[in-house]
Chain A
Amino acid sequence: GIQVEQSPPDLILQEGANSTLRCNFSDSVNNLQWFHQNPWGQLINLFYIPSGTKQNGRLSATTVATERYSLLYISSSQTTDSGVYFCAVERGNNNDMRFGAGTRLTVKP
């Protein structure tokens, strides 16, 4: 099956810093999503981005489907950004979403 690799596995930032999280995948996909899992375990959908670039406030994401990677940018990080960020991809229309192992982000005040 498709492989999803996220990097870095762990990231510690000072409040206000910027960061880039990466997701590499091993095959062509028709769906890619970024999620944030908060400390209570809730998975929150950040972006649906099979290709192109999207922005939502301090967060933006870019997927280069032809090169099989996606990037999540967090600017001016806040302590509430802490948690685990997951990338998930879907290869076909009726296939499941395969998740990476996540990037654990800790933002210190």
Chain B
Amino acid sequence: EAEVAQSPRYKITEKSQAVAFWCDPISGHATLYWYRQILGQGPELLVQFQDESVVDDSQLPKDRFSAERLKGVDSTLKIQPAELGDSAMYLCASSNKNRRNSPLHFGNGTRLTVT
């Protein structure tokens, strides 16, 4: 079964440094999501793409976070500068909203620790 690929699996960085995460969705999935999950809570949406366009980034802290999906396939989420409170699991998901009954599929996530 096709999977959503994410890298790196783990990332440790010092505060004020820059960090980037990469996601490759399931082939053919036009919709891509970045979620952040703080320990003990459910995932919360940061940004949603439809092809290369941002559909929703209302919860993205735009002073330090940025996301792009230039060719409408893979995507990069960047944090600069990282803060201690950014320590969390960053999850990428994709779905095929052009098809009815298309569920969300998640990657394995990137666990970020900011020291």
**Within A9-65, which residues are at the interface with B (CB < 8 Å)?**
31, 33, 35, 40-45, 48
Query: Which one of A40, A93, A98 lies within 8 Å of B97 (CB-CB)?
Result: A93
Of the listed stretches B15-23, B68-76, B79-87, B103-111, chain A binds: B103-111
Indicate whether A41 sits within 8 Å of B89 (C-beta atoms), given known contacts A33-B104, A96-B56: yes
Q: Min CB distance, B1 to chain A, in Å?
A: 10
Q: How many A-B pairs fall under 8 Å by CB?
A: 54
B: number of interface residues (CB 8 Å): 23
Q: Are B56 and A102 in contact (CB under 8 A)?
A: no
Main secondary structure of the interface of B (DSSP, over half): strand
A42 CB contacts on chain B under 8 angstroms: 106, 108-109
A95 CB contacts on chain B under 8 angstroms: 56
CA distance A88 to B43 in the complex (A): 9
Q: Min CB distance, B39 to chain A, in Å?
A: 10
Q: Are A96 and B103 in contact (CB under 8 A)?
A: no
Indicate whether A96 sits within 8 Å of B33 (C-beta atoms), given known contacts A33-B103, A86-B42, A101-B41: yes
- Which of A's residues lie within 8 Å of B, judged by CB? 4, 31, 33, 35, 40-45, 48, 86, 88, 93-102
